[in-house]
Amino acid sequence: MCKFIIFALIPLILSIGIVSVIPSSDAAESNQICIDKVWIEKTNHKIACVTSSTADKLVQRGWGTLLVIDEDISDEKLITPVISGGTLPITQTPIIGNPEKEYPKNYVPGTEELAEDEIRLTFLGTGMPFPTRSQGAAGMLIEFGNGDIMMLDVGSGTVANFNSMKISPAHLTKFFLTHLHTDHQGDLDMFWAQGIPFGRVLPMQVWGPTGDGHALGTQSFIDGMLAANYWDLKSREGTVPTSGAEVITHESDWETTQVVYEENDITVTQFPAIHAMAGAISYRIDWNGMSIVYSGDTKINKFMVEQGQNVDLLIHEAFMPAEILSEQTGMALENAMVVVNELHTPPKAAGVIFELTQPKMAVMYHVWVTDETVPLLFDDLRIPYLGPVTLAQDFTVFNLTPDSIVVRQALVDDAPWPIVPEGDAHAEKEESPILPQWLLDQAIDVEEAIKEILENRK
């Protein structure tokens, strides 16, 4: 490995994220320095800067050859500078249009007021059905300048990330599900549960699709969730208000393109997605002349092309290429090809959708963001699409106004205290559950026990 030359040894103190940092503008000025990594020429003649382990894998697969220091690296062939990361978003175009105000380099939750005409969208999960400390499964928070807030999907890992956003759980009551795979709904029960002791007194509202028969629809899912968590709810009676435990379900026919939410001048429209089985949808959100489209999981389709035309943000899944999925999970390649190409969207296909819709900013999510994957994703995406794009990481934040889009990473507190809403948090009416006397007789009195411990110590 060491015979391959590392181009520079400049240390970069930007280690919070996983992806190495080569901001695009810096790359041009840095005489194409590949920091702590190696250059590789892919079979498509594009050149990337990758870790030596990635380079080894690419060479083993016959997908590229390593370059040594004296090879000519021309600008047209270079793909690496599209990648940044760490405390920077993974994009070449972090600012689109003309922002009216200057944004700090990073978003720190709780420190920035939204303007009345502004939207802030924060990814709370961007990964796979294998949540990691770096990436939760799918989910994003949208805050509107008019005060409304909502979540689109609530995959596992999103609740912990939400709690770093400095927003009271009491204020988040609206959840929109694209489908019922756990990587898109796995934390809904935790959002439901934590709201009860932490101040939510309004019912939760959940929008989601029908399925093929009642048992496969959103209403059945919510009924089952509440039944499974009945012990949790009953145990809290008498100590906290339980009005926030109610869930209002808005189940809508998954096959129909229709408006499912119209409040505070915000419109949410659903349209069908092609994913796994009946009962998957995508969403479009319109407010104040701005539009966001969110794919959920889907094979690329014509509904998306229609709904995504020239929107501000088009957030589309981009799954691992089948070869990588097969290698990383042990799944047979032919099965991986079905999963990726028939049930999901590989990066090349995401590029087709972006090219056909021309959003102000395209966004990819639903993929492991690692040194190994990022160069490959951009490699494939850039075949059909050359426009503005961001690869979302957890805590990638988009500020949208009618004139601009600004992309940043949030810097968050990993050990936040809950934000407590104003008002009375004491329970009314309900009585606390009563435990049997034989059990209570076995309880240990702490003060008595300490007294005895101290006496014995003399």
Binding site for Zn ion (CB under 5 A): 181, 183, 297
Min. distance of Cβ 223 from Zn ion in angstroms? 21
Min. distance of Cβ 345 from Zn ion in angstroms? 11
- Written as six digits, the tokens of 241 are 């208000």
Taking a C-beta distance cutoff of 8 angstroms, is the pair 142, 123 a contact? no
Instruction: State which residue, 59 or 277, has the beta carbon closest to Zn ion.
Output: 277
> Where is 292: in which H helix or E strand?
strand 290-294
Residue with tokens 């009345």: 116
First-to-final CA distance of the chain: 65
> Where is 447: in which H helix or E strand?
helix 446-457
Q: Give the closest residue to 50 by CA, choosing from 348, 374, 322, 390.
A: 374
Q: How far is CA 166 from the centre of its chain?
A: 17
Min. distance of Cβ 313 from Zn ion in angstroms? 19
Instruction: State which residue, 174 or 181, has the beta carbon closest to Zn ion.
Output: 181
| Length of the chain (residues) | 458
Instruction: State which residue, 80 or 185, has the beta carbon closest to Zn ion.
Output: 185
> Where is 281: in which H helix or E strand?
strand 281-287
Instruction: State which residue, 114 or 343, has the beta carbon closest to Zn ion.
Output: 343
Distance CA 282, CA 333 (A): 28
Min. distance of Cβ 138 from Zn ion in angstroms? 6
Min. distance of Cβ 297 from Zn ion in angstroms? 4
Taking a C-beta distance cutoff of 8 angstroms, is the pair 147, 117 a contact? no
Instruction: State which residue, 225 or 339, has the beta carbon closest to Zn ion.
Output: 339
Is 227 strand, coil or helix? Answer: helix
Instruction: State which residue, 169 or 186, has the beta carbon closest to Zn ion.
Output: 186
Min. distance of Cβ 28 from Zn ion in angstroms? 36
Instruction: State which residue, 286 or 297, has the beta carbon closest to Zn ion.
Output: 297
- To the nearest 10°, the Cα dihedral for 217, 223, 228, 234? 160
Taking a C-beta distance cutoff of 8 angstroms, is the pair 33, 10 a contact? yes
Distance CA 75, CA 388 (A): 19
Whole-number Cα distances in Å, 401 to 40, 310, 312 = 40, 15, 9
Min. distance of Cβ 181 from Zn ion in angstroms? 3
Min. distance of Cβ 366 from Zn ion in angstroms? 6
Instruction: State which residue, 58 or 318, has the beta carbon closest to Zn ion.
Output: 318
Distance CA 363, CA 313 (A): 7
